[in-house]
Amino acid sequence: MSQGDIEKRTGLLRCYISRVENGHTVPAIETLEKLARALEVPLFHFFYEGVNPPVARPQKSADNGWGSQGRNARMLHRFCVVLSRMETSDRQVLLSMALQMSKRAPHRSGKGKKEG
């Protein structure tokens, strides 16, 4: 199938199709869906070489991540609730401030701690 054929079937510009084909741009999932329909293949074929779709495996929850259990989990939940009630503009200001503060803060890791 030529780029012109794909252009007609998807509505995507031929130059864009070329950029995707040559690895110069990464298409959004919506674009991949258009391409899959144009090529008459299931979307999973772009990511998986098998004949049938891969079987979804349940992911193990991270038991050691911050906020996954106990006091930190309750704090994270309350934080999410409060953020969901905020106006979008206020939430953006708060998250922007937090991002700036995290860039300035020295990186903390468990390395170099004295055991005792």
Can you tell me the mean pLDDT for 7-26?
A: 92
* Region of poorest pLDDT, from 6-10, 40-44, 50-54: 50-54
How many structural domains compose the chain?
2
- The verdict on residue 38 lying in a domain is yes
45-86 pLDDT tens trace: 888 877 777 777 776 655 567 777 788 888 888 888 788 788
pTM score, two decimals? 0.46
Residue 105 phi/psi, 5-degree rounding, is: -70, 140
How far, CA to CA in Å, does 12 sit from each of 25, 30, 32, 73, 95? 13, 12, 11, 45, 36
**Residue 23 has which token pair?**
């690895």
Please report whether residue 81 resides in a domain: yes
State which residues form the domain around 22: 3-46
pLDDT mean across residues, the chain? 81
Residue 20 falls within a domain, yes or no? yes
Task: Quote the pLDDT of residue 103.
Answer: 81
Q: Does residue 21 lie in a domain region?
A: yes
